[in-house]
Protein backbone atom coordinates (compact mmCIF):
# COMPACT_ATOMS: atom_id res chain seq x y z
CA UNK A 1 0.00 0.00 0.00
CA UNK A 2 3.01 2.29 -0.11
CA UNK A 3 5.02 3.95 -2.88
CA UNK A 4 8.60 5.28 -2.94
CA UNK A 5 9.26 8.89 -3.73
CA UNK A 6 12.19 11.30 -3.04
CA UNK A 7 13.72 8.91 -0.55
CA UNK A 8 10.56 8.68 1.64
CA UNK A 9 7.40 6.65 1.71
CA UNK A 10 4.25 8.30 0.35
CA UNK A 11 1.05 6.73 1.71
CA UNK A 12 -1.16 8.01 -1.10
CA UNK A 13 -2.97 4.69 -1.76
CA UNK A 14 -3.90 4.35 1.93
CA UNK A 15 -5.10 7.95 2.04
CA UNK A 16 -7.12 7.36 -1.10
CA UNK A 17 -8.70 4.28 0.47
CA UNK A 18 -9.66 6.31 3.54
CA UNK A 19 -11.24 8.95 1.33
CA UNK A 20 -13.22 6.32 -0.57
CA UNK A 21 -14.42 4.76 2.69
CA UNK A 22 -15.41 8.16 4.07
CA UNK A 23 -17.44 8.90 0.94
CA UNK A 24 -19.00 5.40 1.09
CA UNK A 25 -18.11 4.83 -2.56
CA UNK A 26 -18.32 1.28 -3.94
CA UNK A 27 -15.91 0.36 -6.73
CA UNK A 28 -16.54 -1.89 -9.73
CA UNK A 29 -14.99 -2.92 -13.00
CA UNK A 30 -16.91 -4.42 -15.91
CA UNK A 31 -15.41 -6.62 -18.60
CA UNK A 32 -17.56 -5.69 -21.57
CA UNK A 33 -16.50 -8.83 -23.46
CA UNK A 34 -17.38 -11.39 -20.78
CA UNK A 35 -20.15 -9.25 -19.26
CA UNK A 36 -18.78 -9.87 -15.76
CA UNK A 37 -18.31 -7.44 -12.88
CA UNK A 38 -15.53 -7.38 -10.31
CA UNK A 39 -16.53 -5.38 -7.24
CA UNK A 40 -15.19 -4.46 -3.82
CA UNK A 41 -16.77 -5.59 -0.55
CA UNK A 42 -18.82 -2.41 -0.19
CA UNK A 43 -20.42 -2.98 -3.60
CA UNK A 44 -21.41 -6.54 -2.71
CA UNK A 45 -22.89 -5.28 0.56
CA UNK A 46 -24.74 -2.55 -1.29
CA UNK A 47 -26.38 -5.11 -3.59
CA UNK A 48 -27.01 -7.55 -0.75
CA UNK A 49 -24.85 -10.24 -2.38
CA UNK A 50 -22.30 -12.58 -0.80
CA UNK A 51 -18.68 -11.96 -1.72
CA UNK A 52 -17.46 -13.54 -4.96
CA UNK A 53 -14.55 -13.00 -7.31
CA UNK A 54 -16.95 -12.04 -10.09
CA UNK A 55 -20.65 -11.52 -10.68
CA UNK A 56 -22.50 -11.40 -14.00
CA UNK A 57 -24.54 -8.47 -15.20
CA UNK A 58 -27.64 -10.67 -15.21
CA UNK A 59 -27.08 -11.63 -11.55
CA UNK A 60 -27.04 -7.95 -10.69
CA UNK A 61 -30.04 -7.26 -12.91
CA UNK A 62 -32.13 -9.74 -10.91
CA UNK A 63 -31.98 -7.28 -8.00
CA UNK A 64 -32.92 -4.20 -10.05
CA UNK A 65 -36.49 -2.95 -9.71
CA UNK A 66 -38.54 -4.37 -12.62
CA UNK A 67 -39.60 -0.85 -13.67
CA UNK A 68 -35.93 0.19 -14.03
CA UNK A 69 -34.36 -3.03 -15.34
CA UNK A 70 -34.65 -2.43 -19.10
CA UNK A 71 -33.54 1.18 -18.74
CA UNK A 72 -30.42 0.20 -16.79
CA UNK A 73 -29.55 -2.61 -19.20
CA UNK A 74 -29.87 -0.25 -22.18
CA UNK A 75 -27.78 2.43 -20.44
CA UNK A 76 -24.91 0.06 -19.62
CA UNK A 77 -24.98 -1.40 -23.11
CA UNK A 78 -24.84 2.10 -24.58
CA UNK A 79 -21.68 2.99 -22.66
CA UNK A 80 -19.70 0.53 -24.80
CA UNK A 81 -19.95 2.88 -27.77
CA UNK A 82 -21.01 6.27 -26.38
CA UNK A 83 -18.18 8.61 -25.43
CA UNK A 84 -18.08 10.71 -22.28
CA UNK A 85 -19.00 10.42 -18.65
CA UNK A 86 -22.32 8.86 -17.71
CA UNK A 87 -24.50 8.57 -14.63
CA UNK A 88 -27.71 6.63 -14.07
CA UNK A 89 -29.89 6.32 -10.98
CA UNK A 90 -32.05 3.25 -10.42
CA UNK A 91 -33.75 1.21 -7.71
CA UNK A 92 -32.73 -2.18 -6.37
CA UNK A 93 -34.85 -4.49 -4.21
CA UNK A 94 -33.42 -6.22 -1.15
CA UNK A 95 -36.18 -8.23 0.49
CA UNK A 96 -38.80 -5.67 1.56
CA UNK A 97 -36.37 -2.76 1.21
CA UNK A 98 -35.94 -0.54 -1.86
CA UNK A 99 -32.65 1.32 -2.31
CA UNK A 100 -31.65 3.92 -4.87
CA UNK A 101 -28.25 3.37 -6.51
CA UNK A 102 -26.27 5.79 -8.67
CA UNK A 103 -23.85 4.17 -11.15
CA UNK A 104 -21.16 6.46 -12.58
CA UNK A 105 -18.28 5.95 -14.97
CA UNK A 106 -16.59 6.89 -18.25
CA UNK A 107 -17.73 5.81 -21.69
CA UNK A 108 -15.92 4.38 -24.68
CA UNK A 109 -13.43 7.19 -25.25
CA UNK A 110 -11.63 7.09 -21.89
CA UNK A 111 -13.37 4.56 -19.72
CA UNK A 112 -12.42 1.24 -21.35
CA UNK A 113 -8.94 -0.18 -20.82
CA UNK A 114 -8.30 -3.49 -22.58
CA UNK A 115 -12.00 -4.24 -22.63
CA UNK A 116 -12.58 -3.31 -18.99
CA UNK A 117 -14.67 -0.35 -17.88
CA UNK A 118 -14.38 1.18 -14.40
CA UNK A 119 -16.85 3.04 -12.25
CA UNK A 120 -18.49 3.49 -8.86
CA UNK A 121 -21.80 2.79 -7.14
CA UNK A 122 -23.27 5.24 -4.63
CA UNK A 123 -26.23 4.67 -2.32
CA UNK A 124 -28.41 7.75 -2.97
CA UNK A 125 -31.52 6.49 -1.18
CA UNK A 126 -31.66 9.39 1.28
CA UNK A 127 -31.35 11.98 -1.49
CA UNK A 128 -34.06 10.33 -3.57
CA UNK A 129 -36.39 10.09 -0.58
CA UNK A 130 -35.83 13.78 0.14
CA UNK A 131 -36.60 14.65 -3.48
CA UNK A 132 -39.75 12.52 -3.40
CA UNK A 133 -40.75 14.20 -0.14
CA UNK A 134 -40.36 17.66 -1.67
CA UNK A 135 -42.36 16.65 -4.73
CA UNK A 136 -45.06 15.14 -2.53
CA UNK A 137 -45.25 18.30 -0.41
CA UNK A 138 -45.48 20.52 -3.49
CA UNK A 139 -48.19 18.31 -4.96
CA UNK A 140 -50.11 18.24 -1.68
CA UNK A 141 -49.97 22.03 -1.29
CA UNK A 142 -51.20 22.53 -4.85
CA UNK A 143 -53.95 19.97 -4.27
CA UNK A 144 -55.07 21.65 -1.04
CA UNK A 145 -55.23 25.12 -2.59
CA UNK A 146 -57.38 23.81 -5.45
CA UNK A 147 -59.59 21.97 -2.97
CA UNK A 148 -60.05 25.05 -0.78
CA UNK A 149 -61.14 27.10 -3.79
CA UNK A 150 -63.59 24.37 -4.80
CA UNK A 151 -64.92 24.08 -1.25
CA UNK A 152 -65.34 27.86 -0.95
CA UNK A 153 -67.38 27.78 -4.15
CA UNK A 154 -69.47 24.90 -2.83
CA UNK A 155 -70.12 26.67 0.47
CA UNK A 156 -71.22 29.76 -1.44
CA UNK A 157 -73.80 27.67 -3.30
CA UNK A 158 -75.02 26.15 -0.01
CA UNK A 159 -75.47 29.62 1.50
CA UNK A 160 -77.23 30.87 -1.62
CA UNK A 161 -79.75 28.02 -1.46
CA UNK A 162 -81.02 29.34 1.88
CA UNK A 163 -83.03 32.01 0.05
CA UNK A 164 -81.92 34.71 2.49
CA UNK A 165 -81.16 38.29 1.62
CA UNK A 166 -77.70 39.41 0.62
CA UNK A 167 -76.73 40.50 4.14
CA UNK A 168 -77.90 37.26 5.77
CA UNK A 169 -76.30 35.19 3.03
CA UNK A 170 -72.98 37.01 3.56
CA UNK A 171 -73.15 36.37 7.31
CA UNK A 172 -73.96 32.70 6.73
CA UNK A 173 -71.07 32.36 4.30
CA UNK A 174 -68.66 34.03 6.74
CA UNK A 175 -69.68 31.55 9.45
CA UNK A 176 -69.12 28.63 7.11
CA UNK A 177 -65.73 29.89 5.98
CA UNK A 178 -64.74 30.46 9.61
CA UNK A 179 -65.74 26.89 10.41
CA UNK A 180 -63.75 25.75 7.40
CA UNK A 181 -60.73 27.59 8.79
CA UNK A 182 -61.09 25.75 12.11
CA UNK A 183 -61.33 22.46 10.26
CA UNK A 184 -58.30 23.33 8.12
CA UNK A 185 -56.24 23.97 11.26
CA UNK A 186 -56.86 20.35 12.19
CA UNK A 187 -55.52 19.23 8.80
CA UNK A 188 -52.32 21.26 9.23
CA UNK A 189 -49.82 19.62 11.62
CA UNK A 190 -48.72 21.89 14.46
CA UNK A 191 -44.99 22.24 15.27
CA UNK A 192 -43.66 20.51 18.33
CA UNK A 193 -46.36 19.09 20.57
CA UNK A 194 -48.84 21.94 20.61
CA UNK A 195 -51.76 19.72 19.70
CA UNK A 196 -53.80 17.75 22.21
CA UNK A 197 -55.77 14.53 22.04
CA UNK A 198 -59.42 14.92 20.99
CA UNK A 199 -62.59 12.91 21.06
CA UNK A 200 -63.30 11.18 17.76
CA UNK A 201 -66.86 12.49 17.55
CA UNK A 202 -65.78 16.08 18.30
CA UNK A 203 -63.13 15.94 15.61
CA UNK A 204 -65.59 14.73 12.97
CA UNK A 205 -68.20 17.30 13.99
CA UNK A 206 -65.73 20.19 13.66
CA UNK A 207 -64.50 18.95 10.29
CA UNK A 208 -68.00 18.56 8.84
CA UNK A 209 -69.62 21.66 10.38
CA UNK A 210 -68.89 23.95 7.37
CA UNK A 211 -70.87 21.67 5.06
CA UNK A 212 -74.06 21.29 7.10
CA UNK A 213 -77.16 23.03 5.75
CA UNK A 214 -79.68 23.50 8.56
CA UNK A 215 -81.63 25.91 6.36
CA UNK A 216 -82.78 22.99 4.21
CA UNK A 217 -83.71 20.60 7.05
CA UNK A 218 -82.25 19.52 10.33
CA UNK A 219 -79.71 16.74 10.45
CA UNK A 220 -78.34 16.86 6.93
CA UNK A 221 -75.05 15.55 8.33
CA UNK A 222 -75.22 12.92 11.08
CA UNK A 223 -72.24 11.69 13.10
CA UNK A 224 -72.63 8.65 15.36
CA UNK A 225 -69.32 7.10 16.40
CA UNK A 226 -67.96 5.38 19.52
CA UNK A 227 -66.79 7.69 22.30
CA UNK A 228 -63.03 7.39 22.23
CA UNK A 229 -59.98 9.63 22.43
CA UNK A 230 -57.43 9.97 19.66
CA UNK A 231 -53.88 11.32 19.66
CA UNK A 232 -52.48 14.41 17.98
CA UNK A 233 -50.90 12.55 15.07
CA UNK A 234 -54.07 10.54 14.52
CA UNK A 235 -56.22 13.69 14.58
CA UNK A 236 -54.09 15.32 11.88
CA UNK A 237 -54.02 12.27 9.62
CA UNK A 238 -57.71 11.45 10.03
CA UNK A 239 -58.57 15.11 9.43
CA UNK A 240 -56.77 14.94 6.08
CA UNK A 241 -58.79 11.88 5.09
CA UNK A 242 -62.16 13.33 6.16
CA UNK A 243 -61.37 16.70 4.59
CA UNK A 244 -60.62 14.97 1.29
CA UNK A 245 -63.86 12.96 1.37
CA UNK A 246 -65.88 16.08 2.25
CA UNK A 247 -64.24 18.10 -0.53
CA UNK A 248 -65.10 15.45 -3.11
CA UNK A 249 -68.67 15.29 -1.81
CA UNK A 250 -69.07 19.07 -2.12
CA UNK A 251 -67.73 18.96 -5.67
CA UNK A 252 -69.41 15.80 -6.97
CA UNK A 253 -71.43 13.98 -4.29
CA UNK A 254 -74.30 14.33 -1.87
CA UNK A 255 -73.13 17.61 -0.34
CA UNK A 256 -73.21 19.27 -3.77
CA UNK A 257 -77.04 19.32 -3.83
CA UNK A 258 -79.69 20.54 -1.38
CA UNK A 259 -81.32 17.12 -0.95
CA UNK A 260 -78.10 15.26 -0.22
CA UNK A 261 -77.31 13.77 3.19
CA UNK A 262 -74.25 12.30 4.84
CA UNK A 263 -74.11 9.70 7.60
CA UNK A 264 -70.83 8.94 9.38
CA UNK A 265 -71.10 5.98 11.73
CA UNK A 266 -68.60 3.80 13.53
CA UNK A 267 -68.15 0.51 15.32
CA UNK A 268 -65.34 -1.22 17.22
CA UNK A 269 -64.14 -4.73 17.86
CA UNK A 270 -61.20 -5.83 19.97
CA UNK A 271 -58.56 -4.63 17.53
CA UNK A 272 -60.09 -2.29 14.93
CA UNK A 273 -62.24 0.81 14.54
CA UNK A 274 -64.44 0.93 11.44
CA UNK A 275 -65.93 4.17 10.14
CA UNK A 276 -68.58 4.18 7.44
CA UNK A 277 -69.05 7.31 5.30
CA UNK A 278 -72.45 6.96 3.58
CA UNK A 279 -73.79 9.59 1.16
CA UNK A 280 -77.37 9.64 -0.08
CA UNK A 281 -79.51 11.83 -2.29
CA UNK A 282 -76.73 13.23 -4.41
CA UNK A 283 -76.29 13.12 -8.18
CA UNK A 284 -76.90 9.63 -9.52
CA UNK A 285 -73.71 7.63 -9.70
CA UNK A 286 -72.90 6.45 -13.20
CA UNK A 287 -70.49 3.53 -13.12
CA UNK A 288 -67.34 3.41 -11.03
CA UNK A 289 -65.08 6.49 -11.20
CA UNK A 290 -61.33 5.99 -11.51
CA UNK A 291 -59.59 6.77 -8.22
CA UNK A 292 -56.24 7.90 -9.62
CA UNK A 293 -56.04 11.48 -8.42
CA UNK A 294 -53.55 12.88 -5.93
CA UNK A 295 -56.16 13.07 -3.17
CA UNK A 296 -57.20 9.44 -3.57
CA UNK A 297 -53.59 8.29 -3.42
CA UNK A 298 -52.94 10.50 -0.40
CA UNK A 299 -55.77 9.14 1.75
CA UNK A 300 -55.03 5.56 0.71
CA UNK A 301 -51.40 6.02 1.74
CA UNK A 302 -52.43 7.68 5.02
CA UNK A 303 -54.78 4.85 5.96
CA UNK A 304 -52.15 2.24 5.20
CA UNK A 305 -49.08 3.85 6.73
CA UNK A 306 -50.49 5.60 9.80
CA UNK A 307 -53.33 3.28 10.77
CA UNK A 308 -52.09 -0.03 9.35
CA UNK A 309 -55.58 -0.21 7.84
CA UNK A 310 -57.33 0.52 4.60
CA UNK A 311 -60.41 1.88 2.91
CA UNK A 312 -62.85 0.65 0.31
CA UNK A 313 -65.31 2.43 -1.99
CA UNK A 314 -68.80 1.21 -2.82
CA UNK A 315 -70.39 3.29 -5.57
CA UNK A 316 -74.08 2.66 -5.00
CA UNK A 317 -76.73 4.36 -7.18
CA UNK A 318 -77.91 6.39 -4.17
CA UNK A 319 -74.43 7.61 -3.33
CA UNK A 320 -70.89 6.75 -2.31
CA UNK A 321 -70.22 4.53 0.70
CA UNK A 322 -66.64 4.53 2.01
CA UNK A 323 -65.47 2.10 4.68
CA UNK A 324 -62.38 3.06 6.67
CA UNK A 325 -60.74 0.45 8.89
CA UNK A 326 -58.04 1.36 11.44
CA UNK A 327 -56.13 -0.46 14.16
CA UNK A 328 -57.23 0.81 17.57
CA UNK A 329 -53.70 0.73 18.98
CA UNK A 330 -52.64 3.24 16.32
CA UNK A 331 -55.29 5.82 17.28
CA UNK A 332 -53.55 7.11 20.40
CA UNK A 333 -50.42 8.22 18.52
Domain regions of the chain by residue span: 3-123, 128-330
CA distances from 77 to 7, 31, 86, 105, 181 (A): 46, 12, 12, 13, 56
What's the pLDDT band for 286 if we cut at 50, 70, 90? confident
Sign of the Cα pseudo-torsion (124, 127, 133, 137, in order): negative
| Alpha carbons 159 and 257: distance in angstroms, whole number | 12
pLDDT attached to residue 293: 63
- The confidence band for 276, taking pLDDT boundaries of 50, 70 and 90, is very high
174, pLDDT greater than 60:
yes
The answer to whether 208 and 242 are in contact (CB under 8 A) is yes
Mean pLDDT, residues 40-58: 84
pLDDT reported for residue 191: 45
The single-letter DSSP state of residue 285 is: P
Helix then strand then coil, % of the chain, to nearest 5 = 45, 25, 30
CA distance 236 to 239: 5
Q: 3-123: which CATH architecture?
A: 2-Layer Sandwich (3.30)
As assigned by CATH, the class of the 128-330 domain is alpha beta
Which pLDDT band holds residue 252 (cuts at 50, 70, 90)?
Answer: confident
More confident residue, 244 or 167: 244
- Yes or no: say if 185 and 129 are a contact pair by the CB < 8 Å rule: no
* pTM of the full structure: 0.48
**103-137 tens-digit pLDDT:** 887 766 555 666 777 888 888 888 877 777 666 66
Instruction: Report the alpha-carbon distance of residue 27 to residue 302 in Å, rounded.
Output: 39
Q: What percent of the chain has pLDDT over 90?
A: 9
Separation CA 55–CA 235 (nearest Å): 50
Asked if 228 and 200 touch (Cβ cutoff 8 Å), the reply is yes
The whole-number average pLDDT for the span 210-222 is 68
Q: How big is the CA angle at 206 (ends 314 and 264), to the nearest 5 degrees?
A: 25
Distances (CA, A) of 312 to 226, 243, 292, 316: 20, 17, 14, 13
Q: What is the pLDDT of residue 245?
A: 87
Amino acid sequence: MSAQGSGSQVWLPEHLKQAIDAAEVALWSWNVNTDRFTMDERAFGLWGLPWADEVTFEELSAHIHPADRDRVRAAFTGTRSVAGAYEIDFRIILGDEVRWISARGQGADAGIVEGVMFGIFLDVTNRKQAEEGHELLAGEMSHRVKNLLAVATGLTHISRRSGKGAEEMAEDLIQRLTALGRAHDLVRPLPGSQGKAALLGDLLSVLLAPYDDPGAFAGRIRVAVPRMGIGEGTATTLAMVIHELATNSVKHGALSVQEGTLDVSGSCDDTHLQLTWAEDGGPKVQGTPEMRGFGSKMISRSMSQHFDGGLSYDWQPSGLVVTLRMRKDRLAA
